[in-house]
Amino acid sequence: MRHLLSAKDLSREEAVAILDTAATMAATQQREIKKLPPLRGKTVVNLFFEDSTRTRISFEAAAKRLSADVINFSAKGSSVSKGESLKDTAQTLQAMGADGVIIRHPASGAPFRLATSGWIDTPVINAGDGKHQHPTQALLDAYTMRRNLRGDDAIGSDLGGVRVLVVGDVLHSRVARSNVDLLHTLGATVTLVSPPTLLPVGVERWPCAVSYDLDGAIAQGADAIMMLRVQRERMSAAGGGFFPSPQEYSRKFGLDRNRLAALGPDALVMHPGPMNRGLEISAEAADSAQAVILEQVTNGVAVRMAVLYMLLGGSEGATGGTA
Amino acid sequence: MTSGTPARSATERVVLDSSDIARALTRIAHEIIERNNGSAGLVLLGIPTRGADLARRLGERVLQADGRDDPAETLVGTLDITLHRDDLRRHPVRPIEPTTIPASGIDDKVVVLVDDVLFSGRTVRAALDAISDVGRPRAIQLAVLVDRGHRELPIRADYVGKNLPTAAAEHVRVRLAEVDGVDEVAIGRSTGEES
């Protein structure tokens, strides 16, 4: 494993190894002294061509806890707004001595291009590209599920038999794509629940079931429900033709009090954030005892520490070693 | 690594058998108690993999010899040193082992580090760093089953099962029932692999 570009690239063994490493990283974050030395002297660049606060801060915290130096590069007000290409930006960063690049880009496939074009020779971590992939989000979701559903037996285990509902705007969601790939690899059963207009072409070939009926899907039982954000910024107007009105979306696909009760108290309520309270998730559901939304944020740092350690912690060019 | 039959090459020589190891551990347990005037305020931290098993065995003996019937977990923990190694970037990524600290913590305790073989001293140096991330013990002591010499750092052990003079090219294999299915220490010509 040299880069982390897509959740689809991970084998079951690699994914479990990352989750296990994340568990040991999480344990160190309970201590008074949270900083660890393995990436001392390494420089990690956060290359963000798209606005993101949570993911950038999470990666930054993870890299700093491992003693790496972090350079934040955001496209706004930078050379990119003067017309610099991805290639020139990346090579400039390499020339400054970057040992790893974390990239978020509005174009699907940009991290893959960066990793495989020969422009730079550092590990590349995809922090979200267009509507394509967001692998560390899928890893932190899987970690959160495994920790809560498997408890003390979590180390070494996958998510075999776990039933997950992914609800909402699948069309625009790289979180949904990454999660379907990774959860399938880990043995979980995934059902996408969405209005037909918010499902991408070709979804029938994804390794998951599809439903248009949230109440029906909940009635069949679920161990975790993941509410996707309605991505207003990717739609033209409110709704934007994908659904008649926010009210109707909320009534048919929002997680409200009744649906929370129907899920039962043991099902995990998850959301990748930021939440549209009152649209895809009610305040009651978001603040309920079974919501693990803040824990997802905490686990995000541990999972990203694990990924950074596994990609940058060993010798240059050393492959494998994840088993 | 999980197989029950040890892979012993023809050139290997067993220097400690199972009863030798048991006697050495019993002696070390008594030395620990004697030197620290009992087992109160003591924490044994083993370095995975085999140091952790040795620490558990030592802990049981210490508790028994001091007439306590507390469970071993109150006295014994494990300490991962992987993240503190000075050779991390010379090797492929190493998996991290769990660190478990007894519930009472290590602040103001006497910590006895336990490992199987003391060689260059670099593992112990990493362990000292790892300990300072977890807390501030009153003192740190070092117990090893085998001291084979060839130190590269100014580090020595407080409790030694056996001093084993070796050539640098030789390798020392500690095998424990918990991991290898048998208790023994063997010495042989190096085949490139090093413990």
DSSP state of A228: P
Answer yes or no: is B174 within a domain.
no
The total number of structural domains that make up chain B? 1
Number of other residues whose CB lies within 10 A of the CB of residue B156: 13
The helix, strand and coil proportions of chain B, stated in percent and rounded to the nearest 5, come to 30, 25, 45
- In three-state form (DSSP H/G/I as H, E/B as E, the rest C), the secondary structure along A177-190 is HHHHHHHHHCCCEE
User: Where does A135-296 sit in CATH, by number?
Assistant: 3.40.50.1370
pLDDT at A321 over 50: no
Contacts of B135 in chain A (CB under 8 A): 32
Give the model confidence (pLDDT) of A248-296 as tens digits. Answer: 999 999 999 999 999 999 999 999 999 999 999 999 999 999 999 999 9
Any bridge partners for residue B172, and if so which? B187
Cα separation of the two ends of chain B: 13
Give residue B6's pLDDT band: very low, low, confident or very high (50, 70, 90): low
Question: How far is the alpha carbon of B11 from chain A, nearest alpha carbon, in Å?
Answer: 29
Q: Whole-model pTM?
A: 0.90
Mutate to test the interface with A, among B82, B96, B107 (most CBs of A within 10 A): B96
Give yes or no for a contact between B161 and B16, defined as CB atoms under 8 angstroms apart: yes
A7-133+299-312 folds as Rossmann fold (3.40.50)
**Closest listed residue to residue B179, CA positions, set B71, B78, B54:** B54
How confident is the model at residue A317, as a pLDDT?
A: 46
pLDDT at A323 over 70: no
Domain span at residue B18 reads: 14-166
Give the model confidence (pLDDT) of A194-221 as tens digits. Answer: 999 999 999 999 999 999 999 999 999 9
Burial state string for B112-139 with b = 16 or more CB within 10 A and e = fewer than 16: bbbbbbbbbbbbbbbbbbbbebbbebee
pLDDT at B4 over 90: no
Mutate to test the interface with A, among B73, B81, B82, B83 (most CBs of A within 10 A): B83
d(CA B130, CA A143): 25
Residues of B with CB under 8 A from a CB of A: 80, 82-84, 88-99, 129, 133-135
Q: Read off the pLDDT of each residue in A140-164 and give the average, rounded to a whole number.
A: 94
DSSP state of A82: G
Q: Delimit the domains of chain A by residue range.
A: 7-133+299-312, 135-296
Question: How far is the alpha carbon of B22 from chain A, nearest alpha carbon, in Å?
Answer: 32
Partner-chain residue, chosen from B88, B92, B134, that has the shortest CB–CB distance to A38:
B88
Answer yes or no: is B193 within a domain.
no
Partner-chain residue, chosen from B93, B129, B134, that has the shortest CB–CB distance to A318:
B93
pLDDT at B46 over 70: yes
Give the model confidence (pLDDT) of A183-201 as tens digits. Answer: 999 999 999 999 999 999 9
Q: Which residues contact A261 (CB under 8 A, 6 or more apart)?
A: none
Report the chain A residue with the minimal C-alpha distance to residue B132.
A33
- Domains A7-133+299-312 and A135-296 are alike in CATH topology: yes
Crossing angle for the helix pair A135-150 and A12-28, nearest 10 degrees? 70
* Residue indicated by tokens 């009153």: B138
How confident is the model at residue A234, as a pLDDT?
A: 64
Give yes or no for a contact between B107 and B123, defined as CB atoms under 8 angstroms apart: no
Partner-chain residue, chosen from B89, B92, B134, that has the shortest CB–CB distance to A321:
B92
Grouping H, G, I as helix, E, B as strand and the rest as coil, residue B60 is helix
CATH number assigned to the domain comprising residue B145: 3.40.50.2020
Give the model confidence (pLDDT) of B112-160 as tens digits. Answer: 999 999 999 999 999 999 999 999 999 999 999 999 999 999 999 999 9
Better pLDDT: A80 or B59? B59
